[in-house]
Structure 1
Amino acid sequence: MEFSFDADLLLEQIQNTRLLEWVAVAFGVSEVLLAKKNNIWLYPTGIVGILCGSILLLDSKLYAETLLHCYYLVMSVYGWANWKNRSATGASQITRSDSRDFAITLGIAGLGWVFLYFMLTTFTDSDVPVIDAFVSSTAWAGMWLLAKRKLENWICLNISNLVAIPLLYSKQLYMFSFLTLFLFIVAVFGYLDWRKELDSKDETLRSV
């Protein structure tokens, strides 16, 4: 991947950005900030952003990316219901992943990587199928952990972000690259905030 910054191209991209795209980005940023605050409103906010993004992707005939957004939509609805669920099967509180959660996470990421690689190499002209598939599959796993309100969702999502930043930059998608860098930084603080809340609850339990 080649890295060369084109300021004129970036300015042109900003000037040509449609209102709906700005709305999608704004709701996407808001979703991550609300997730950092452990606020359930991240899900309705995220759903609006996903729907706006899906319209843009369909208009651009990016059908595979639209299918990915469908997955995000399903996981957002599931996560919203799961966070509101106060029973033992719900995710009303932040928790740490156990061995079963780790196994499922690795399964989603690993099988998703293989599946997406096959789809990209078989049905598209992608020139970066390995990296592109990895970014999406780890994001899938991170979304599942977020729906379960697991602390480790931030780690999984940031593995995806860390690889996505240079990938987007190399494709001269500077705005998306900078946005992903911003999301990476927010996710770091999200992890620290969630861990602090968990540690505080653990300390309270030990003192009882």
Structure 2
Amino acid sequence: MQQWIDLLTEQMRHTTWLEWVAVLMGVAEVLLARKNNVWLYPAGIAGSAITITLLLEVGLYAEAGLSAYYVVMSIYGWYLWLRQTGKPPLKVAWATRNEWMITLLIAFGGWGVIYLLLHHFTSSTVPVWDAWVSSTAWAGTWLLARRRVENWVVLNVSNLFAIPLLFHKQLILFAALTIFLFIVAIFGFVDWMKIARQKAYTA
């Protein structure tokens, strides 16, 4: 345990201002998401754009690709949450059967595709692990863009595997951030369940 504390202390000492900005944007994004606030998307875009460069430097190619995907999905989610003029905003609700099928396709199909790309075209030392973290996060982010309650569950599957992966790569600060995101996601799930139930009762 002391070894990890010493490593965290050492990494924090050498953390660049860009890394701090990325971490702070990640914290802001998940807290805003928990509050069902659309400003989560600008925060997410800023944090993800910075994180791409940082992850490429340590060879986590799928994670870097995931951050690029976050940027695209954040733009898509931002649009869906606001919708076009005259259309009602997207409401928090439970995922439909079709949405679950798409989610599973993204998670498992994405896992296979990302693994093959990492295995054949990169120097990744953890292609299976890295691919799974990324594909499940892809699936959870898609559900978040759709404003579905279950996004928190799927994102936490990704977080659960991401934490040891980040420790393995000695990205202790990002591992600590992911632990924080994991905890917040639990509360986010509870909060969004309440919102969905209230909307169901008043519908």
Runs of 4+ aligned residues of structure 1 deviating over 4 Å after TM superposition are 86-91
Counterpart residue number, 2:180? 182
CA 1:194–1:86 in 2, change beyond 3 Å: closer, same or farther? Answer: farther
| TM-score under structure 1 length normalisation | 0.88
Counterpart residue number, 2:191? 193
CA deviation vs aligned residue, 1:93-147 (integer Å, no higher than 9, x gap):
1011111000100111111100111112112333322221111000000111111
| TM-score under structure 2 length normalisation | 0.90
Q: Which amino acid aligns with 1:130?
A: V
Per mean C-alpha deviation after superposition, the further-off stretch among 194-203 and 144-153 is: 194-203
Q: Which amino acid aligns with 1:29?
A: V
CA 1:189–1:105 in 2, change beyond 3 Å: closer, same or farther? Answer: same
CA deviation vs aligned residue, 1:133-178 (integer Å, no higher than 9, x gap):
1110000001111111111111110000011112222333222211
Contact 1:120 1:129 in 2 (8 A): yes
What's the Cα RMSD here? 2.3
Q: Superposed, which structure 2 residues align to 1:1-208 within 5 Å?
A: 5-57=3-55, 60=57, 64=61, 65-85=63-83, 92-205=90-203
Q: In structure 1, how many angstroms separate the alpha carbons of the residues matched to 2:88 and 2:192?
A: 18
Q: In structure 1, how many angstroms separate the alpha carbons of the residues matched to 2:3 and 2:122?
A: 27
Q: In structure 2, how many angstroms separate the alpha carbons of the residues matched to 1:135 and 1:191?
A: 19
CA deviation vs aligned residue, 1:41-98 (integer Å, no higher than 9, x gap):
100111111222234446x385834433221111000000000116898752101111
Q: In structure 1, how many angstroms separate the alpha carbons of the residues matched to 2:75 and 2:115?
A: 27
The offset of 1:194, in angstroms, is 0.4
Q: In structure 2, how many angstroms separate the alpha carbons of the residues matched to 1:132 and 1:12?
A: 25
* Corresponding residue pairs, total: 202
Could you list the runs of 5+ residues in structure 2 that have no partner in the other structure? none
For the residue of structure 2 that corresponds to 1:6, the secondary structure is: helix
Contact 1:146 1:153 in 2 (8 A): yes
Identity %: 52
